[in-house]
Amino acid sequence: MPNNPLVSDRNVEFLLYEVFDVEALCHLNAYEEHSRETFDLVLQNARKFAREVLFPTYKPMDEAPAQMVGGGIKVHPAMREVYPHLVDQGMVAATRPHEVGGQQLPHMVATVCALYGMAANLSAVSYLGLTAGAAHLIEAFGNEALKAEMMTRMYSGEWTGTMALTEPQAGSSLTDVKTRATPTERGHYLLRGNKVFISGGDHDLTENIVHLTLARIDEAPPGIKGVSLFAVPKKRLEGGKLVPNDVHCAGAFHKMGWRGIPSIALNLGENDDCQGWLVGEPHRGISYMFQMMNEARLMVGMQGIATASAAYHESLEYARTRPQGRPLTSKNPTTPQVPIIEHADVRRMLLRQKAIVEGALALGVQTARYADLAAHGATPDARRRAFLLLDMMTPIVKSFAAERGFESNALAVQIHGGYGYTSEYLPEAWLRDQKLNSLHEGTTCMHSMDLLGRKVVADQGGALRMLGEEIAAATARAASAGVDAGWGAALDRAVGTVGEVTMHLAGLGVAGQVEEMMCHSMDYLDLVSTVVVSWQWILQAAVAKEKLAESPSHASSDLYEGKICAAEYWIKTELPRVEQLAHLCRSGEGSYDRMNAAWF
């Protein structure tokens, strides 16, 4: 097994300190206790833990998924061993305020720390990622009793948490949730229903699990505005003791990846004794979920980036050490074979992976920065602006990482040749893991509809205008830094194209032609994602050029040259796709809209 760093430390430094200046956040009240020293310390801990403790557990857990034993799930022994150490890392409440036991770290730093863990063992880290999301829902919307009893135990890792949304008949369509909640006179509700695909929905890691559950209160109005949010523990506290709460594990799905964390079918209230506690107000469950969605979706984006990053570094190391074949111009069979990185097509595959992984990661850190400013920016205007940008970037980070990450993971298998197809090497496992990311937390199509139908038209197009300003600032900086003028010009034109296409499609929506507007939402998402990642590459190239100008024989000149080269690759290979995508969106090419179900 090659020596795999999982994530490039130097690239992380480049993004945090040279491109996005995370230290500037320390001027904000919320982060004033932090400094580069504290950031470096948590980063160093996260790296060491990911590489030395978590990564060795990945393959064993992939090979032997958690099992259903006597009505409950028994996790892999390695998971049980690693869990307390994971908790000690403080990941669950890393970004939460000190008052609730958190470290009050900027998302920018916490996100990158999580990235190392995800790259090392996605499933292991997810137990706590889900717990963090569930606890945060209680923190934001729950009453003091729920906070004291449940949130505190979840943030400390004593209990874990899940999101229990999906039902057999209600996957993407949450409006069709059927689980019932009947009020009682004792404050709690009695729940009855079936949930599926609940990640970490059962396990033997902790004594309790709190399911943040969507359900309908009896007599609730139909549809999305009749769905409420409940905290439903596996065991409830009675007289200081935990007793079973009529939450039953009906089985685990057999998954192609993410095999270290079970995906569970849960039956609630088989014996009419499943107690749940309302979180917030009745019928507002979906809006609460939506308010936390950016966090969860940004996390899925990071999962996609982490999975692609681990595989990129694995195939890079393989390409540098595996001898095979000779240069095209030197076919003398008596000369030694060369490392395959010498072949142009292998470098193409590696550069494509780098462009995807580091382009997506830059965007992920950029978006985490918006999350920090949305929460703690100095002025209401700054917070509003950051929130709109965060909101717009979230579906892009999530879906770009999932879709292009899958492509990138397939390239890592391809570079490994026949060996890549075997489980003696890791890339095939990461490829299997990656496929989930286009499905969970909203399919890619749902994100395309979210982007086009909600995000870019938010604030009367204000969000999109702000994005244009951010990109214009980057192209101006690139021009000053001496980045090839053609690249910035191409990006500026593409931004103009996005504006025109958006106006055209929004116009259809205003005219009531919603189906025509949304028909090419996937092409639209691809269009905007390509432009946004091009922005991140222009920005990285600008910073690299600035650094090289400071000192051409810079100790990091390899990094900077690589950034400029990857930017060139992306701008010349991917950005030109924009014109055709725009044409598809504008022309309303209607073959699949017209395609009759009987014609297939």
**Which stretch of DSSP H or E encloses residue 244?**
strand 241-244
Pairing of strands 180-183, 209-217: parallel
At what angle are helices 521-550 and 380-415 packed, to 10 degrees?
90
- Taking CB under 8 A as the binding criterion, the range among 102-110, 157-165, 271-279, 592-600 that sits at the site for a second copy is 592-600
Site for a second copy contains 222 (CB under 8 A): yes
Return the C-alpha torsion angle 244, 247, 253, 258, nearest 10: -70
Q: Smallest distance from the beta carbon of 192 to a second copy, in angstroms?
A: 20
For a second copy, which is the closer residue by CB, 69 or 598? 598
Site for a second copy contains 69 (CB under 8 A): no
**What gap in Å lies between CA 235 and CA 423, rounded to an integer?**
39
Residues numbered 306 to 335 that lie near a second copy (CB under 8 A) are 316, 320, 323-329, 331-334
For a second copy, which is the closer residue by CB, 284 or 347? 347
Q: Please identify which residue in 182, 421, 458, 461 interacts with a second copy, judged by CB under 8 A.
A: 421
**Residue that is written with structure tokens 């600035």 in the block:** 546
Q: Locate the DSSP E strands across 269-377.
A: 275-278
- Dig out the tokens for 512 from the structure: 């009531």
- Taking CB under 8 A as the binding criterion, the range among 239-247, 248-256, 272-280, 389-397 that sits at the site for a second copy is 248-256
Site for a second copy contains 60 (CB under 8 A): no
Residues numbered 257 to 276 that lie near a second copy (CB under 8 A) are 257, 263
Q: By C-alpha distance, which of 134, 131, 98, 99 is closest to 114? A: 131
Contact in structure between 174 and 286 (CB atoms under 8 Å) = yes
Instruction: Name the catalytic one among 295, 403, 441, 574.
Output: 441
Q: By C-alpha distance, which of 153, 459, 123 is closest to 262? A: 123
- Taking CB under 8 A as the binding criterion, the range among 25-33, 92-100, 166-174, 372-380 that sits at the site for a second copy is 166-174
**Residue that is written with structure tokens 């990071």 in the block:** 302
- Whether 407 is catalytic is no
Contact in structure between 541 and 411 (CB atoms under 8 Å) = no
For a second copy, which is the closer residue by CB, 72 or 327? 327
CA distances from 508 to 447, 467, 495, 502, 515 (A): 19, 22, 20, 10, 9
Residues numbered 13 to 52 that lie near a second copy (CB under 8 A) are none
For a second copy, which is the closer residue by CB, 281 or 558? 558
Q: Smallest distance from the beta carbon of 561 to a second copy, in angstroms?
A: 5
Q: Is 213 helix (H, G, I), strand (E, B) or coil?
A: strand
- Taking CB under 8 A as the binding criterion, the range among 251-259, 272-280, 293-301, 475-483 that sits at the site for a second copy is 251-259
Size of the site for a second copy (CB under 8 A): 100
- Taking CB under 8 A as the binding criterion, the range among 34-42, 184-192, 371-379, 554-562 that sits at the site for a second copy is 554-562
In DSSP terms, 235 is beta-bridged to: 244
Q: Smallest distance from the beta carbon of 559 to a second copy, in angstroms?
A: 8
Residues numbered 430 to 469 that lie near a second copy (CB under 8 A) are 431-432, 435-436, 438-440, 443-445, 448
For a second copy, which is the closer residue by CB, 266 or 386? 266
Pairing of strands 72-74, 67-69: antiparallel
Widest pairwise Cα distance in the chain: 87
Site for a second copy contains 250 (CB under 8 A): no
Q: Please identify which residue in 521, 529, 534, 536 interacts with a second copy, judged by CB under 8 A.
A: 521
Site for a second copy contains 489 (CB under 8 A): no
Q: Smallest distance from the beta carbon of 391 to a second copy, in angstroms?
A: 21
In DSSP terms, 160 is beta-bridged to: 209
**What gap in Å lies between CA 489 and CA 567, rounded to an integer?**
14
Site for a second copy contains 379 (CB under 8 A): no
Site for a second copy contains 354 (CB under 8 A): yes
For a second copy, which is the closer residue by CB, 468 or 562? 562
Contact in structure between 229 and 280 (CB atoms under 8 Å) = yes
Which residues form the catalytic set?
441
